[in-house]
Structure 1
Amino acid sequence: QIKVWFQNRRCREKQRKESSRLQTVNRKLSAMNKLLMEENDRLQKQVSQLVCENGFMRQQLQPALPPNTHGSCESVVTTSQYSLKDTNNPAGLLSIAEETLAEFLSKATGTAVDWVQMLG
């Protein structure tokens, strides 16, 4: 009977350790999930802004076409971080493209997110 009691005790201790480890893993995964969801929201907003800016730029490049009156894009275009002066010349567009590419690559290579090493 004592032998069984010690076996049960060892088993309970293993279960406690495993439970603690899994709770730690769960907290890390929850934190990573939150970061990724925030990044996803930010990127979705950026996509919407870029789609609107693209439409606006098409209008500027093709003045013969009737203007697009898409109301949801107007505020996004006017609050753009780049001035129209920059986007109207090729050097400005190239500069914007290079900045956007650099930002994308820094995030795509994982340098923008602090990854947590998972054990197990």
Structure 2
Amino acid sequence: MKILFISFCISVLISSALILLSTIFSKKTILDREKTSPFECGFDPKNSSRIPFSIRFFLIAIVFLIFDIEISILLPLGLISNSVPPLVWIFIGGSFLVVVTAGLYYEWKESTLDWIT
């Protein structure tokens, strides 16, 4: 246990020293307006580069990610079909699909999936 603690302390010290050295010797530049502004073919930008995006787009992207993750959870069901009884396999897959469908129905009724409103 003592060796584990000593090796942990040494690794923390080495990591801290490397982080400290890299921040001290890193190439620092003074940030000015030209370096922080977006580059548009050598001209000053007409608009702000930080334009707000639609919250609808964000919600659709989140729903897509959620359903994408749910599909990746469903894929291993085919692999375990030989190792579990068919009734258990159907119950697990069916209950998961019911939850996914209920979530889709909720999103639909909340009109999150409507792009134009």
Flag whether TM exceeds 0.5 (same fold): no
Could you say which structure has the higher helix fraction?
Answer: 1
Q: TM-score scaled to structure 2, two decimals?
A: 0.38
